[in-house]
Each structure stands twice: as C-alpha cells, then as structure tokens.
A and B are shown apart, each in its own frame.
Chain A
C-alpha cells in the first residue's frame, strides 16, 4: 500500500441497507477525515479523528458513524442508507505535527443509494 486507499471504488445500494466504506493509510498520519462531495457544493466534512481512539463530528454527521481502532484504518458506516446519501465519499489523512498539515486524499468511493 502506498498512501491512502479506499474500498469499494463504487457501490449501488438499496435504501435501508447497511454499508461500510473502508479507508486505510500507511503514512502513519495521526488525523483522518471523511468527506462527501456533491455537485455544486464544496467538500463537506462528515466525521474526523485526530488520533487513534478518538472521533469527532463534522458538518454533516447525521446518518453516519465512524470508528478509529488503530492509526491506519478509519471505516465509515451508513447504518440505514437513504437516497440523499448518494455522493462521492473521500477519505483523507494528515500529519498534524508536520509542515502545513495538508490533507492527502484517497481515490474516493462513488455511492448510489436507490
């Protein structure tokens, strides 16, 4: 693994189903983030984690949950998917102790909820 990976690449999901989007980074970054990107809108933060074992709510957390059991993994779970959660989801990570603390992004997961 080099950098940050996400799985699946894309998914079509029936409304009401449970879904977990996976995110793994190998850069030993302390902070990780989940965003959704919708046409005409900026990236919106769903949840974040500043260090393993801690998580926080972003701008649009409703309907989503996260966990951070270790440094590398930061899964995002939709407990009961709804059509308004159709979006492109990006996971990102950053080293808050280094440089500008810029965020590095995974390739994204395109999710369609029908």
Chain B
C-alpha cells in the first residue's frame, strides 16, 4: 500500500529552527509537495521537490532523498504566524497526490 509518515505534532520556540520529517512509500514518484494549513483554513502550497537535494525559498527549505524515500521541511527564524499544520504529499505513478496526515507545529514565545 501507499504510505506517508510524518510526526503528529512538534513544538518549537519563536526565533529557532525546526525540521519536519516526512517518509514515504508510494507506487511511483513524480514529485513531493509541502503545504501549510492554518487551523480552519485551506492548505496553501509551500514547496516542491522532484530531484534530490535542497530547495530554498526564504525562511523555508525543503530537502529530498528519493533513494531513502525521505524529505524534510526546514523552517528558520520561526515566527508565531508559522504555527500551523504542515502537510507532506507525494505525486504517485497515476499523477495523484497521496497525503500525509500532517504535522501540527506549535510555536512558543
């Protein structure tokens, strides 16, 4: 079966750095996405990786290792507004997204 694993919840301090991990087992791989979802709102696109390595976009970076079935989202200089759920999704061989359950990130002052 297809499976996306990410921690259920993480806590970090304002101004610090946090890494959210995602491991996947899917039928085929055509890219990995990270989305941010604030409570009661829709998911919004953060990043996309299809080749191994690090993609940097401002305070957010995303890493992919296809051989290990592993990705992480790195958030630097954390701000209170970064409190949200972070969703990992893999596009499979049918070009459909398979979603993880999300990681709820709590930022403390």
Question: Which positions in A face B, CB cutoff 8 Å?
Answer: 40-45, 48, 58, 90, 96, 100-108
Contact = CB atoms under 8 A, between A and B. Distances in A.
A32 to B, nearest CB: 13
B99 A104 contact: no
Contacts of B41: 107-108
B84 interface: no
B96 A42 contact: no
Interface of B: 4, 31, 33, 41-45, 48, 50, 87, 89, 91, 95-102
A45 B42 contact: no
Chain A contact surface mostly? loop
A42 B100 contact: yes
Given A42-B102, A43-B87, A108 B96 contact: no
Contact of A42 (B31, B44, B50, B101): B101
Nearest to A41: B101
A90 B99 contact: no
